[in-house]
Chains A and B, each alone.
Chain A
Amino acid sequence: MSGTLKIRMRGVRKAFGGKQVLDGVDLDCGAARSTVILGGSGSGKSVTIKCIIGLITPDEGVIEIDGVDVLKLPRRDREALGDRIGMLFQNGALFDSLPVWENVCFKLLAQGKITRAQARDRAVEALASVGLAASVGELSPAELSGGMQKRVALARAVAAQPEIIFFDEPTTGLDPIMGAVIDGLIVDCVKRLGATAVSITHDMASARRIGDDAAMIFKGKIVWTGAAATLGHSGNAMVDQFANGEREGPIQMELRK
C-alpha cells in the first residue's frame, strides 16, 4: 500500500461481557483507497467499524483518523468528525417513521445544507444512482423489499458525499446485477469523489471489484493484509481457503483448537 494513511488502528481490544471480540486489531486504510475487510461470521468485522466511527468505545488501543487520535477527541470535535463520515449499516437501519426521500437526504437536511424542497430532487438523483425509481421516494421504508431497503440505505450513506465511507455488507441480499451496480457506485465514490472506503463483504467477486487493499480478521486479530486482487491466490493458506470457500483448511484446524 502506498500514499497517505486515512485510518490507523493499533492494538484495539474490545470485550463484551467477558467475550474478547477484538483482541488487538491493527489496521491501516490508505487515503482515497478502498479497503475490504474479510472474515467469518461473528469474527468482529462490524464491531471494528463501529469502533472507528465511535459507536463502540474500545477497551484499549489507538484509533487515528488523519493522524488524530479520535478516542481522545472532545465530544464536539468528534461530532464534527462525524459530519465527514458515512456509514451503511448491515441491516440498513432506515428510519421507518420517515419517507424514503427524507431518509436519503437526512444528513444534508440535518446539516442545513439544503431545504426540504431541494431534498426531494436530490433524493430522486440519489435513488437513481442505486437503480431505484423516483416513485420509491414517496414510500415508507417498511413498504420496500429487503434489497430495496439496502439500496436506499446505501443512497443515504453516500448522499452527503462523505470523505470516509463504511459499507457493512453492501451487496448482501441483492441480485447479481444489482450487486454489480452497487459495486460500481462504491468504486465511483472512491475514484471520482476521492473518498476513502472501508467495506465488509462475504462476496469475493465483489471484494475484488471494489477493493484496492484487503484485510482478513480472524479471532479478533487482523491475520493478513494484501492486495484485493490476489484474493484466492494470495499464498496465505487461511485467506485462500476463505476466499475460495473450501471446507477443509487451516481455518478449521484453528477453530478446532
Chain B
Amino acid sequence: MDIILNPVAAVGRGVLGACRTVGDVALFALEALSHLFRPPFYGRLFLRAFLEIAYFSLPVVALTAVFTGMVLVLQSYTGFARFNATGAVANLVVLSITRELGPVLAGLMVAGRISASFAAEIGTMRVTDQIDALTTLSTNPMKYLVAPRLLAGALAMPLLVLVADVLGVMGGWLVATVKLGFVSATYLKATADFLQFDDVFSGLVKASVFGFVVALMGTWCGYNSKGGAQGVGGATTTAVVTSSILILALDYVLTEMFFAQ
C-alpha cells in the first residue's frame, strides 16, 4: 500500500509546498509594496537600484538586442525569399522585436545580472546579521532593502527595453542594407509604417512586469537565505532560475491577455 501511496503523498507535499511558496512570495511583495506609500522613503537606494538596472545593464542588453535584430533579418530573409516575400522582412523584425524579443531577451539578461546581485547582496546581509541590525537601528528592512528595489525593477526595465527595441531594429536595418541589398530609405519607411503603438506599449508593459519579477525573486531569495556562503550561493541560483522561468511563463500569459481577440 505504502509503495502506491508514497509517490502520491510526495506529489501532494510538493504541490502544497509550491502553493505555500507562492503565497509567501505574494505576501512578501504586498508588504514591500505597502511600504512604498508610507514614509520614510529611501530615494537614494531607489536611485542606486534604478541605475544598476537601467544604466549598468545597458551594454549587455544593447549587444543582445543588436545581434538578435541582425540574426532575425538573416533568418527571415531566407524564409521569405522562398515565397518572394522579402518585402515583409522589416515588418517581421519590428513586430517580433517590440512585442517579444525586446522584453523577453532583455528580461532574461537582467534576470541573470540583477536578480543574482540582489540575492547575493541581501543574502549576505541576512547571514551576517545585517538585516537584524537594521531592525535594531530603527529601520524596517523591507522598506529599506526590498521596496526601493521592486519599484526600480518595475520602472527601469521599460526604459531598458525601449533602448533594446531601437537597437534591435537598427541591427536588423544594418544587415538588411549592408548585406542583403535593401534600400535604406525603403526599409526604414517599411519599419515606420509597421510600427504600432500597441505593439511597443505591450512590450513595455511586459518589461515592467518582468523587471518587477526579477527584483522580487532576487530580493525574496536573498531575504530568506540561510546557512552561510553556501546558502547565499543557493539563493542566487534559485533567484536566477525562477525569475527566468517566470519571465517565459508570464510572457505567454501577458501575450494571451494583450492579443487574444
Contact B140 A50 (CB under 8 A): no
Give how many B residues have a beta carbon under 8 Å from the other chain's beta carbons: 15
The answer to the question of A85 belonging to the interface, with a C-beta cut-off of 8 Å to chain B, is: yes
Number of A-B contacts (CB under 8 A): 49
Which chain B positions have C-beta within 8 A of A85?
Answer: 136
The answer to the question of A106 belonging to the interface, with a C-beta cut-off of 8 Å to chain B, is: yes
* A50-89 contact mask (Cβ, 8 Å, vs B): 1 or 0: 1001110000000000000000000000010011011101
* Cα distance, A194 to B138, chains bound together (Å): 21
Pick from B121, B129, B136 the residue with the most CB of A within 10 Å: B136
Contact A50 B132 (CB under 8 A): yes
Contact A95 B133 (CB under 8 A): yes
The answer to the question of A107 belonging to the interface, with a C-beta cut-off of 8 Å to chain B, is: yes
Which chain A positions have C-beta within 8 A of B128?
Answer: 91, 93
* B108-135 contact mask (Cβ, 8 Å, vs A): 1 or 0: 0000000000000100010011101111
The answer to the question of A111 belonging to the interface, with a C-beta cut-off of 8 Å to chain B, is: yes
- Which residue from B125, B133, B140 sits with its C-beta under 8 Å from A89? B133
- Which residue from A50, A55, A95, A111 sits with its C-beta under 8 Å from B138? A111
B111 nearest CB across to chain A (Å): 22
- A75 nearest CB neighbor, chain B only: B140
Which chain A positions have C-beta within 8 A of B133?
Answer: 87, 89, 93-95
- B121 nearest CB neighbor, chain A only: A97
Contact B129 A107 (CB under 8 A): no
* Cα distance, A57 to B231, chains bound together (Å): 22
The answer to the question of B178 belonging to the interface, with a C-beta cut-off of 8 Å to chain A, is: no
B122-176 CB contacts (< 8 Å) to partner A: 125, 128-130, 132-140
- B136 nearest CB neighbor, chain A only: A87
Contact A91 B129 (CB under 8 A): yes
Which chain A positions have C-beta within 8 A of B130?
Answer: 93-96
Contact B132 A110 (CB under 8 A): no
- B131 nearest CB neighbor, chain A only: A93
Contact A106 B132 (CB under 8 A): no
A88-122 CB contacts (< 8 Å) to partner B: 89-91, 93-97, 106-107, 110-112
* Cα distance, A110 to B42, chains bound together (Å): 10
Contact B136 A53 (CB under 8 A): yes
Residues of A in contact with B, size category: 20 to 34
Which chain B positions have C-beta within 8 A of A97?
Answer: 121
Contact B139 A110 (CB under 8 A): yes
B238 nearest CB across to chain A (Å): 21
* Cα distance, A201 to B238, chains bound together (Å): 38
* Cα distance, A156 to B133, chains bound together (Å): 10
Contact A82 B136 (CB under 8 A): yes
Which chain A positions have C-beta within 8 A of B125?
Answer: 95
* A13-56 contact mask (Cβ, 8 Å, vs B): 1 or 0: 00000000000000000000000000000000000001001110
* Cα distance, A139 to B47, chains bound together (Å): 23
* Cα distance, A53 to B135, chains bound together (Å): 9
Contact B140 A79 (CB under 8 A): yes
A103-146 CB contacts (< 8 Å) to partner B: 106-107, 110-112
* Cα distance, A95 to B130, chains bound together (Å): 6
Which chain B positions have C-beta within 8 A of A94?
Answer: 130, 133
Contact B138 A83 (CB under 8 A): yes
Contact B132 A107 (CB under 8 A): no
- Which residue from B40, B132, B139, B140 sits with its C-beta under 8 Å from A93? B132
Which chain A positions have C-beta within 8 A of B129?
Answer: 89-91, 93
* Cα distance, A53 to B132, chains bound together (Å): 10
Contact B137 A89 (CB under 8 A): no
Contact B135 A107 (CB under 8 A): no
- B133 nearest CB neighbor, chain A only: A93
A232 nearest CB across to chain B (Å): 32
A136 nearest CB across to chain B (Å): 19
* Cα distance, A53 to B133, chains bound together (Å): 11
Which chain A positions have C-beta within 8 A of B138?
Answer: 79, 82-83, 107, 110-111, 160
Which chain A positions have C-beta within 8 A of B140?
Answer: 79
Given contacts A91-B128, A91-B129, contact A106 B135 (CB under 8 A): no
Which chain A positions have C-beta within 8 A of B135?
Answer: 53-55, 82
A239 nearest CB across to chain B (Å): 29
6 closest A-B pairs by beta carbon, nearest first, are A93-B129, A93-B133, A87-B136, A107-B137, A110-B138, A110-B139
- Can you name 23 A-B residue pairings with CB atoms under 8 Å? A50-B132, A53-B135, A82-B135, A82-B136, A85-B136, A89-B129, A89-B133, A90-B129, A91-B128, A93-B132, A93-B133, A94-B133, A95-B125, A95-B134, A106-B137, A106-B139, A107-B137, A107-B138, A110-B40, A110-B137, A112-B40, A156-B137, A160-B138
7 new A-B contacts at CB < 8 Å, known A93-B132, A97-B121, A106-B137: A83-B138, A86-B136, A93-B128, A93-B130, A94-B133, A110-B40, A111-B138
